[in-house]
Amino acid sequence: MINIAICDDDKPLTGIVEQLLHQTASEQGIEINCEVFFDGSTLVKAVTEQQMCFDLVYLDIEMDAMDGIHTAQALRERELPTLIVYMSGHEEYLKELFCTEPFRFLSKPVTEAEFRAVFLAACERISQQAGYFTFFYKKACYRIPFNRITCFESNGRVISVHLSRQNMPENSSLTNRFYGKINELEKQVTSKNGRFLRVHQSFLVNFDYIKAISPTEIEMLDGRIIQISEDRRKTTWAKFGALANAKSVPTPY
């Protein structure tokens, strides 16, 4: 899922952009979620107060209340790894935009071909940088690097995200929780990161944190013992073997 924000005070244009996004995403089999904002201050408020997370932001430059450049600066101050695509008919601002690290600049009026090309390039970049697991809990958005997650554990509708202690402050929590279904979680995670194994109805584990494996259980680096359910032993061993024999095995950090 790619979360997208469209921020422009030109309401007809936001409708066109949203339509193009859904059309292109549908054609390419890309799952997206779009939110529309008509001024920068509302977007910043949604990010800071409602903790909304966006992978991609389409941003107009000249807007009332808060212009696009100041909006982008506010997003960057929060160290969000958001790709920003400016849309404007004012190319004289180009030099000012560099400080906000934009991904692309679309000149208005935007052509459909150019829009599609930029969107697909953004999706490719997001895919390449899909090193974060994003989830929502109590209206807050959390982004955790996959290489810090040892495993996911499901208990009813509550999923626990267990984290590695490595390179984390002593007072840091090693468990985060959110509501969800592990079957849907498995599809979401494995579509972005191929190093997770579903070894049990309740566990999805990170290969890089497995210390040892036997026919019936897995020992994690933190000492946790996880049972391998009987119906998943064959697929677990097959995937474990494939990952173990891969030419390049990343080391968790």
37 shares a domain with 99: yes
Look at residue 139 and tell me if it is in a domain. Answer: no
Which residue among 96, 128, 160 closes a domain?
128
57-86: per-residue pLDDT in tens? 999 988 877 888 889 988 887 766 689 999
Look at residue 138 and tell me if it is in a domain. Answer: no
Look at residue 137 and tell me if it is in a domain. Answer: no
Domain region containing 25: 2-128
- pLDDT mean across residues, the chain: 85
**For a pLDDT cut of 90, what percent of the chain falls above it?**
44
Q: What is the CATH number of the domain that holds 157?
A: 2.40.50.1020
- Token digits for 65? 């209340």
Which residue among 128, 155, 175 closes a domain?
128
In total, how many domains does the chain have?
Answer: 2
186 shares a domain with 122: no
Q: How confident is the model at residue 251 (pLDDT cuts 50, 70, 90)?
A: very low
Q: For 29-44, what is the mean pLDDT? A: 92
**Count of CA atoms in the C-beta half-sphere (13 A) of 148:** 18
139-152: per-residue pLDDT in tens? 666 778 788 899 99
158 shares a domain with 124: no
* Residue in the structure block whose two tokens are 């073997």: 241
186-202: per-residue pLDDT in tens? 988 888 788 899 999 99
168 shares a domain with 51: no
Q: How confident is the model at residue 252 (pLDDT cuts 50, 70, 90)?
A: very low
Strand partners, 103: none
> Is the full-model pTM beyond 0.75?
no
Strand partners, 84: 57
* Own/partner pairs, 235-244, CB within 8 angstroms, 24+ separation: 235/198, 236/197, 236/198, 236/199, 237/213, 239/197, 239/207, 240/197, 240/207, 240/210, 240/213, 243/194, 243/195, 243/207
Q: Is the peptide bond before 215 cis (omega within 30 degrees of 0)?
A: no
pLDDT at 114: 94
Residue type, 223: G
What is the SS3 assignment for the chain? CEEEEEECCCHHHHHHHHHHHHHHHHHHCCCEEEEEECCHHHHHHHHHCCCCCCCEEEEECCCCCCCHHHHHHHHHHCCCCCEEEEEECCHHHHHHHHHHCCCEEEECCCCHHHHHHHHHHHHHHHHHCCCEEEEEECCEEEEEEHHHEEEEEEECCEEEEEECCCCCCCCCCCEEEEECCHHHHHHHHHHHCCCEEEEECCEEEEHHHEEEECCCEEEECCCCEEECCHHHHHHHHHHHHHHHCCCCCCCCC
- Token digits for 20? 């193009």
Look at residue 136 and tell me if it is in a domain. Answer: no
pLDDT at 155: 93
